[in-house]
Amino acid sequence: MRAVNVFLAIAIALAAASPAFAAKPKVVILATGGTIAGAQAAGQDAGYKSGSFKVEDLIKAVPNLGELADISGEQVVNIGSQDMNNEVWLKLAKRVNEVLAQSDVDAVVITHGTDTMEETGYFLSLVTHSDKPVVMVGSMRPATATSADGPANIYNAVSVAVHPKARGRGVLVLLNDEIHYAREATKTNTTQLDTFKSPNRGKAGMTNAGRVYWYDPLATRYTSHSVFSVDKLNELPRVEIVYAYANVGRDFIDACVKLGCTGIVLAGVGDGNATESAVAGLRDAVKKGVAVVRSSRTNSGITDRNVELNDDELGTLASMELNPQKARVLLMLGLTKTSDAKQLQEYFYQY
Ligand code: ASP
Protein backbone atom coordinates (compact mmCIF):
# COMPACT_ATOMS: atom_id res chain seq x y z
CA MET A 1 0.00 0.00 0.00
CA ARG A 2 2.77 2.35 1.09
CA ALA A 3 4.78 1.60 -2.07
CA VAL A 4 1.73 2.46 -4.18
CA ASN A 5 1.40 5.84 -2.41
CA VAL A 6 5.05 6.65 -2.97
CA PHE A 7 4.69 5.67 -6.62
CA LEU A 8 1.61 7.89 -6.94
CA ALA A 9 3.38 10.84 -5.31
CA ILE A 10 6.34 10.50 -7.69
CA ALA A 11 4.02 10.24 -10.69
CA ILE A 12 2.12 13.40 -9.65
CA ALA A 13 5.37 15.31 -9.05
CA LEU A 14 6.73 14.27 -12.45
CA ALA A 15 3.49 15.22 -14.21
CA ALA A 16 3.43 18.65 -12.54
CA ALA A 17 7.02 19.29 -13.63
CA SER A 18 6.38 18.24 -17.23
CA PRO A 19 5.79 21.06 -19.73
CA ALA A 20 2.57 19.40 -20.85
CA PHE A 21 1.08 20.00 -17.40
CA ALA A 22 2.66 23.40 -16.70
CA ALA A 23 0.12 26.24 -16.66
CA LYS A 24 0.18 27.97 -20.01
CA PRO A 25 0.47 31.75 -20.12
CA LYS A 26 -2.80 33.56 -20.73
CA VAL A 27 -2.92 35.92 -23.69
CA VAL A 28 -5.87 38.12 -24.59
CA ILE A 29 -6.20 39.08 -28.25
CA LEU A 30 -7.96 42.41 -28.72
CA ALA A 31 -9.11 42.74 -32.32
CA THR A 32 -9.63 46.06 -34.09
CA GLY A 33 -9.89 45.05 -37.78
CA GLY A 34 -7.44 45.81 -40.58
CA THR A 35 -6.28 43.78 -43.56
CA ILE A 36 -5.44 40.92 -41.22
CA ALA A 37 -9.22 40.56 -40.87
CA GLY A 38 -9.83 41.53 -44.50
CA ALA A 39 -11.70 39.56 -47.19
CA GLN A 40 -11.54 39.69 -50.97
CA ALA A 41 -14.78 39.45 -52.91
CA ALA A 42 -13.27 36.81 -55.19
CA GLY A 43 -10.14 34.74 -55.91
CA GLN A 44 -7.07 36.78 -56.76
CA ASP A 45 -8.89 40.11 -56.40
CA ALA A 46 -6.56 42.99 -55.47
CA GLY A 47 -9.53 44.69 -53.83
CA TYR A 48 -10.71 43.68 -50.37
CA LYS A 49 -12.54 44.96 -47.34
CA SER A 50 -10.63 45.44 -44.07
CA GLY A 51 -12.27 44.22 -40.88
CA SER A 52 -14.46 41.52 -42.45
CA PHE A 53 -13.56 38.66 -40.11
CA LYS A 54 -14.11 38.49 -36.36
CA VAL A 55 -11.51 37.71 -33.71
CA GLU A 56 -12.71 34.08 -33.34
CA ASP A 57 -12.04 33.51 -37.07
CA LEU A 58 -8.54 34.97 -36.78
CA ILE A 59 -7.69 32.72 -33.84
CA LYS A 60 -9.11 29.62 -35.56
CA ALA A 61 -6.97 30.28 -38.65
CA VAL A 62 -3.68 29.87 -36.74
CA PRO A 63 -2.58 26.23 -36.40
CA ASN A 64 -1.13 25.24 -33.00
CA LEU A 65 -1.72 28.63 -31.40
CA GLY A 66 -3.20 26.92 -28.33
CA GLU A 67 0.14 25.22 -27.68
CA LEU A 68 1.75 28.59 -26.97
CA ALA A 69 -0.84 30.03 -24.62
CA ASP A 70 -4.40 30.00 -23.37
CA ILE A 71 -5.94 32.37 -25.85
CA SER A 72 -9.09 34.40 -25.52
CA GLY A 73 -10.34 36.99 -27.97
CA GLU A 74 -12.29 40.20 -27.74
CA GLN A 75 -13.54 42.42 -30.55
CA VAL A 76 -12.95 46.09 -29.67
CA VAL A 77 -13.89 47.52 -33.10
CA ASN A 78 -13.72 46.10 -36.63
CA ILE A 79 -12.43 48.85 -38.91
CA GLY A 80 -9.76 49.60 -41.46
CA SER A 81 -7.12 51.44 -39.48
CA GLN A 82 -7.41 54.38 -41.88
CA ASP A 83 -10.59 55.02 -39.84
CA MET A 84 -8.80 54.92 -36.49
CA ASN A 85 -9.66 57.92 -34.34
CA ASN A 86 -9.09 59.46 -30.91
CA GLU A 87 -12.28 57.94 -29.51
CA VAL A 88 -11.22 54.39 -30.38
CA TRP A 89 -7.72 55.07 -29.04
CA LEU A 90 -9.15 56.05 -25.66
CA LYS A 91 -11.47 53.04 -25.59
CA LEU A 92 -8.71 50.65 -26.63
CA ALA A 93 -6.16 52.08 -24.19
CA LYS A 94 -8.58 51.83 -21.27
CA ARG A 95 -9.39 48.23 -22.20
CA VAL A 96 -5.70 47.31 -22.53
CA ASN A 97 -5.04 48.71 -19.04
CA GLU A 98 -8.02 46.84 -17.59
CA VAL A 99 -6.99 43.54 -19.17
CA LEU A 100 -3.34 43.86 -18.15
CA ALA A 101 -4.40 44.64 -14.58
CA GLN A 102 -5.97 41.16 -14.31
CA SER A 103 -3.56 38.98 -12.37
CA ASP A 104 -4.28 35.91 -14.55
CA VAL A 105 -3.46 37.71 -17.83
CA ASP A 106 0.17 37.59 -18.98
CA ALA A 107 0.07 39.62 -22.18
CA VAL A 108 -2.10 41.35 -24.76
CA VAL A 109 -1.91 40.97 -28.53
CA ILE A 110 -3.75 43.56 -30.63
CA THR A 111 -4.74 42.84 -34.23
CA HIS A 112 -4.76 46.13 -36.14
CA GLY A 113 -4.51 47.53 -39.65
CA THR A 114 -1.04 48.57 -40.70
CA ASP A 115 -1.94 52.06 -41.97
CA THR A 116 -2.03 53.67 -38.52
CA MET A 117 -0.54 50.86 -36.44
CA GLU A 118 2.50 52.97 -35.59
CA GLU A 119 0.31 55.75 -34.21
CA THR A 120 -1.93 53.47 -32.14
CA GLY A 121 1.13 51.57 -30.91
CA TYR A 122 2.96 54.74 -29.90
CA PHE A 123 -0.17 56.10 -28.21
CA LEU A 124 -0.55 52.87 -26.23
CA SER A 125 3.13 52.87 -25.30
CA LEU A 126 2.58 56.25 -23.63
CA VAL A 127 -0.60 55.41 -21.72
CA THR A 128 -0.34 51.71 -20.89
CA HIS A 129 0.82 51.34 -17.31
CA SER A 130 2.11 47.81 -17.11
CA ASP A 131 5.31 45.93 -17.82
CA LYS A 132 3.34 43.05 -19.33
CA PRO A 133 3.92 42.67 -23.08
CA VAL A 134 1.62 44.33 -25.60
CA VAL A 135 2.18 43.20 -29.18
CA MET A 136 0.47 44.83 -32.15
CA VAL A 137 0.08 42.57 -35.16
CA GLY A 138 -1.24 43.10 -38.66
CA SER A 139 -0.80 41.78 -42.16
CA MET A 140 -0.28 43.13 -45.63
CA ARG A 141 -2.43 40.53 -47.37
CA PRO A 142 -6.07 39.94 -46.55
CA ALA A 143 -7.09 36.76 -44.74
CA THR A 144 -8.52 35.27 -47.96
CA ALA A 145 -5.37 35.87 -50.06
CA THR A 146 -3.03 33.20 -51.37
CA SER A 147 -0.20 33.12 -48.83
CA ALA A 148 -2.03 35.33 -46.36
CA ASP A 149 0.59 36.54 -43.89
CA GLY A 150 -1.84 37.08 -41.01
CA PRO A 151 -1.83 33.61 -39.38
CA ALA A 152 1.99 33.38 -39.23
CA ASN A 153 2.16 36.92 -37.91
CA ILE A 154 -0.36 36.11 -35.16
CA TYR A 155 1.59 32.96 -34.25
CA ASN A 156 4.79 35.00 -34.00
CA ALA A 157 3.04 37.80 -32.10
CA VAL A 158 1.85 35.36 -29.44
CA SER A 159 5.34 33.76 -29.30
CA VAL A 160 6.77 37.20 -28.65
CA ALA A 161 4.05 38.09 -26.13
CA VAL A 162 4.76 34.99 -24.00
CA HIS A 163 8.54 35.25 -24.27
CA PRO A 164 10.12 35.92 -20.85
CA LYS A 165 12.25 38.76 -22.22
CA ALA A 166 9.29 40.63 -23.73
CA ARG A 167 8.33 42.10 -20.35
CA GLY A 168 9.21 45.74 -19.88
CA ARG A 169 9.88 46.39 -23.56
CA GLY A 170 6.75 48.47 -24.05
CA VAL A 171 4.43 48.17 -27.01
CA LEU A 172 5.81 46.13 -29.90
CA VAL A 173 4.83 45.82 -33.56
CA LEU A 174 5.11 42.46 -35.27
CA LEU A 175 5.00 41.77 -39.02
CA ASN A 176 7.13 39.82 -41.47
CA ASP A 177 9.17 38.05 -38.76
CA GLU A 178 10.35 41.42 -37.45
CA ILE A 179 9.77 42.89 -34.01
CA HIS A 180 9.74 46.68 -33.79
CA TYR A 181 9.23 49.10 -30.94
CA ALA A 182 6.01 50.97 -31.67
CA ARG A 183 7.90 54.21 -31.05
CA GLU A 184 10.40 53.38 -33.78
CA ALA A 185 8.28 51.61 -36.37
CA THR A 186 6.94 53.31 -39.43
CA LYS A 187 5.08 51.99 -42.46
CA THR A 188 7.28 52.60 -45.50
CA ASN A 189 5.66 50.68 -48.35
CA THR A 190 2.08 50.56 -49.60
CA THR A 191 1.81 46.82 -50.20
CA GLN A 192 4.99 44.85 -49.46
CA LEU A 193 5.35 42.51 -46.51
CA ASP A 194 8.49 44.18 -45.16
CA THR A 195 6.75 47.54 -44.94
CA PHE A 196 7.72 48.32 -41.32
CA LYS A 197 11.12 49.85 -40.69
CA SER A 198 12.64 51.40 -37.60
CA PRO A 199 14.85 53.97 -39.31
CA ASN A 200 16.28 55.73 -36.28
CA ARG A 201 17.13 53.26 -33.52
CA GLY A 202 16.54 49.96 -35.31
CA LYS A 203 14.45 46.87 -34.69
CA ALA A 204 13.58 45.33 -31.32
CA GLY A 205 14.31 41.83 -32.61
CA MET A 206 13.41 39.03 -35.00
CA THR A 207 11.21 35.96 -34.92
CA ASN A 208 11.37 32.74 -36.87
CA ALA A 209 8.72 30.02 -36.57
CA GLY A 210 8.01 31.02 -33.00
CA ARG A 211 11.64 31.52 -31.94
CA VAL A 212 12.41 34.98 -30.64
CA TYR A 213 15.69 36.92 -30.87
CA TRP A 214 15.98 40.22 -29.02
CA TYR A 215 18.09 43.23 -29.87
CA ASP A 216 18.72 46.31 -27.70
CA PRO A 217 16.01 47.66 -25.39
CA LEU A 218 14.52 51.08 -26.01
CA ALA A 219 16.15 53.92 -24.09
CA THR A 220 13.23 56.37 -24.02
CA ARG A 221 10.34 56.56 -21.49
CA TYR A 222 7.23 54.42 -21.95
CA THR A 223 4.51 52.38 -20.17
CA SER A 224 5.32 52.14 -16.44
CA HIS A 225 7.68 55.12 -16.76
CA SER A 226 5.24 57.35 -18.62
CA VAL A 227 3.48 60.28 -16.91
CA PHE A 228 0.56 60.16 -19.36
CA SER A 229 -2.74 58.54 -18.53
CA VAL A 230 -6.11 58.07 -20.21
CA ASP A 231 -7.92 57.17 -16.99
CA LYS A 232 -9.76 60.48 -16.70
CA LEU A 233 -9.77 61.42 -20.38
CA ASN A 234 -12.89 61.38 -22.55
CA GLU A 235 -11.36 63.31 -25.42
CA LEU A 236 -8.00 64.54 -26.68
CA PRO A 237 -6.97 68.09 -27.59
CA ARG A 238 -7.29 68.91 -31.28
CA VAL A 239 -3.90 68.72 -32.99
CA GLU A 240 -3.62 68.77 -36.79
CA ILE A 241 -0.69 68.10 -39.12
CA VAL A 242 0.20 70.55 -41.89
CA TYR A 243 2.33 69.18 -44.73
CA ALA A 244 5.12 71.30 -46.21
CA TYR A 245 6.20 71.30 -49.87
CA ALA A 246 7.64 73.73 -52.40
CA ASN A 247 5.47 76.84 -52.60
CA VAL A 248 3.35 75.94 -49.54
CA GLY A 249 1.55 78.97 -48.16
CA ARG A 250 0.21 79.72 -44.71
CA ASP A 251 -3.49 79.16 -45.47
CA PHE A 252 -3.81 75.73 -43.88
CA ILE A 253 -1.92 76.89 -40.79
CA ASP A 254 -4.24 79.90 -40.46
CA ALA A 255 -7.21 77.58 -40.99
CA CYS A 256 -6.05 75.34 -38.13
CA VAL A 257 -5.83 78.34 -35.84
CA LYS A 258 -9.31 79.49 -36.88
CA LEU A 259 -10.69 76.00 -36.28
CA GLY A 260 -9.49 76.22 -32.69
CA CYS A 261 -6.66 73.70 -32.80
CA THR A 262 -4.65 73.51 -29.60
CA GLY A 263 -1.64 72.23 -31.47
CA ILE A 264 -0.16 72.06 -34.96
CA VAL A 265 2.53 69.69 -36.17
CA LEU A 266 4.49 70.75 -39.23
CA ALA A 267 5.48 67.85 -41.49
CA GLY A 268 8.35 69.99 -42.63
CA VAL A 269 10.66 69.58 -45.60
CA GLY A 270 14.13 68.37 -44.61
CA ASP A 271 14.97 69.27 -41.04
CA GLY A 272 11.46 70.57 -40.24
CA ASN A 273 11.58 73.54 -42.60
CA ALA A 274 8.94 75.38 -44.60
CA THR A 275 8.57 78.48 -46.78
CA GLU A 276 8.87 81.93 -45.21
CA SER A 277 5.14 82.36 -45.58
CA ALA A 278 4.34 79.11 -43.74
CA VAL A 279 6.86 79.93 -41.02
CA ALA A 280 5.22 83.35 -40.56
CA GLY A 281 1.93 81.48 -40.15
CA LEU A 282 3.48 79.24 -37.50
CA ARG A 283 4.94 82.24 -35.65
CA ASP A 284 1.48 83.85 -35.55
CA ALA A 285 -0.11 80.58 -34.42
CA VAL A 286 2.30 80.44 -31.46
CA LYS A 287 1.44 84.08 -30.60
CA LYS A 288 -2.22 83.01 -30.43
CA GLY A 289 -1.38 80.28 -27.91
CA VAL A 290 -1.20 77.29 -30.27
CA ALA A 291 1.56 74.77 -29.54
CA VAL A 292 3.57 74.27 -32.75
CA VAL A 293 5.90 71.32 -33.25
CA ARG A 294 8.27 71.09 -36.19
CA SER A 295 8.79 67.57 -37.52
CA SER A 296 10.03 66.22 -40.84
CA ARG A 297 8.40 64.54 -43.79
CA THR A 298 11.68 62.70 -44.56
CA ASN A 299 10.72 59.70 -42.34
CA SER A 300 14.03 59.47 -40.48
CA GLY A 301 16.53 61.53 -38.54
CA ILE A 302 16.31 64.09 -35.77
CA THR A 303 14.51 67.41 -36.06
CA ASP A 304 16.30 69.37 -33.35
CA ARG A 305 15.86 72.93 -32.11
CA ASN A 306 17.49 75.97 -33.68
CA VAL A 307 19.07 74.63 -36.85
CA GLU A 308 17.84 76.53 -39.92
CA LEU A 309 14.87 77.89 -38.02
CA ASN A 310 15.27 79.54 -34.64
CA ASP A 311 12.76 77.89 -32.32
CA ASP A 312 13.78 80.12 -29.40
CA GLU A 313 12.75 83.12 -31.41
CA LEU A 314 9.66 81.55 -33.07
CA GLY A 315 8.35 79.88 -29.93
CA THR A 316 8.13 76.55 -31.78
CA LEU A 317 9.07 73.09 -30.52
CA ALA A 318 11.19 70.38 -32.16
CA SER A 319 9.90 66.81 -32.53
CA MET A 320 13.37 65.25 -32.23
CA GLU A 321 13.06 61.65 -33.56
CA LEU A 322 9.29 61.58 -33.87
CA ASN A 323 7.75 61.66 -37.32
CA PRO A 324 4.75 63.99 -37.77
CA GLN A 325 2.07 61.40 -36.99
CA LYS A 326 3.81 60.36 -33.77
CA ALA A 327 4.64 63.96 -32.85
CA ARG A 328 0.89 64.60 -33.05
CA VAL A 329 0.25 61.74 -30.58
CA LEU A 330 2.80 63.05 -28.07
CA LEU A 331 1.63 66.64 -28.45
CA MET A 332 -2.00 65.67 -27.80
CA LEU A 333 -1.02 63.80 -24.65
CA GLY A 334 1.43 66.53 -23.62
CA LEU A 335 -1.32 69.12 -23.94
CA THR A 336 -3.52 67.14 -21.53
CA LYS A 337 -0.91 67.99 -18.88
CA THR A 338 0.51 71.41 -19.75
CA SER A 339 0.65 74.21 -22.28
CA ASP A 340 4.11 75.28 -21.14
CA ALA A 341 6.44 75.20 -24.14
CA LYS A 342 9.50 74.21 -22.08
CA GLN A 343 7.70 71.26 -20.50
CA LEU A 344 6.26 70.17 -23.86
CA GLN A 345 9.73 70.29 -25.40
CA GLU A 346 11.00 68.21 -22.50
CA TYR A 347 8.46 65.51 -23.39
CA PHE A 348 9.90 65.39 -26.90
CA TYR A 349 13.37 64.86 -25.41
CA GLN A 350 12.20 62.06 -23.11
CA TYR A 351 9.53 60.10 -24.96
N1 ASP B 1 -5.96 49.75 -44.82
C2 ASP B 1 -5.57 48.63 -44.00
C3 ASP B 1 -5.66 49.04 -42.57
O4 ASP B 1 -4.81 49.77 -42.12
C5 ASP B 1 -4.21 48.18 -44.40
C6 ASP B 1 -3.63 47.04 -43.58
O7 ASP B 1 -4.16 46.62 -42.57
O8 ASP B 1 -2.56 46.55 -43.96
O9 ASP B 1 -6.56 48.66 -41.89
Residue 36 CA: nearest ligand 1 atom is: 7
pLDDT of residue 43: 78
Strand partners, 26: 70
Question: Is 336 among the catalytic positions?
Answer: no
Residue 138 CA: nearest ligand 1 atom is: 7
pLDDT of residue 45: 87
**47 CA distance to ligand 1 middle (Å):** 12
**104 CA distance to ligand 1 middle (Å):** 31
CA distances for 108 relative to 31, 64, 115, 179, 275, angstroms? 10, 18, 20, 15, 44
**29 CA distance to ligand 1 middle (Å):** 18
pLDDT of residue 38: 97
Considering only CA atoms, which residue is closest to atom 7 of ligand 1? 113
Burial (Cβ within 10 Å: 0-12, 13-18, ≥19) of residue 305: middle
Q: Taking the mean position of all CA atoms in its chain, how far away is CA 255?
A: 29
| Residue 34 Cβ contacting ligand 1 at under 6 Å | yes
**119 CA distance to ligand 1 middle (Å):** 13
Decide: pTM greater than 0.75. yes
Taking CA 312 as the corner, what is the angle to CA 310 and CA 315, rounded to the nearest 5 degrees? 100
pLDDT of residue 42: 86
pLDDT of residue 5: 58
Amino acid making up residue 11: A
Instruction: State which of 82, 83, 111 you would mutate to test the pocket of ligand 1, scoring each by most atoms of that ligand within 8 A of its C-beta.
Output: 82
d(CA 38, CA 16): 41
Residue 116 CA: nearest ligand 1 atom is: 4
| Residue 51 Cβ contacting ligand 1 at under 6 Å | no
pLDDT of residue 15: 47
- Chunked into runs of 10 residues, the chain (351 residues) has average pLDDT values of 52 49 90 97 89 97 97 98 98 98 98 98 98 98 96 98 98 98 98 98 95 97 97 98 98 98 98 98 98 98 98 98 98 98 98 98
pLDDT of residue 9: 55
Burial (Cβ within 10 Å: 0-12, 13-18, ≥19) of residue 44: exposed
pLDDT of residue 16: 47
Catalytic residue among 32, 35, 128, 223: 35
| Residue 114 Cβ contacting ligand 1 at under 6 Å | yes
**188 CA distance to ligand 1 middle (Å):** 13
Give the 3-state DSSP-derived string for 323-348, with helices as H, strands as E and coil as C.
CHHHHHHHHHHHHCCCCCHHHHHHHH
pLDDT of residue 114: 98
| Residue 153 Cβ contacting ligand 1 at under 6 Å | no
Could you tell me whether strands 39-40 and 48-49 are parallel, antiparallel, or unpaired per DSSP bridges? Answer: antiparallel
d(CA 144, CA 60): 14
CB atoms within 10 A of CB 240: 16
Instruction: State which of 40, 49, 50 you would mutate to test the pocket of ligand 1, scoring each by most atoms of that ligand within 8 A of its C-beta.
Output: 50
| Residue 82 Cβ contacting ligand 1 at under 6 Å | yes
**115 CA distance to ligand 1 middle (Å):** 5
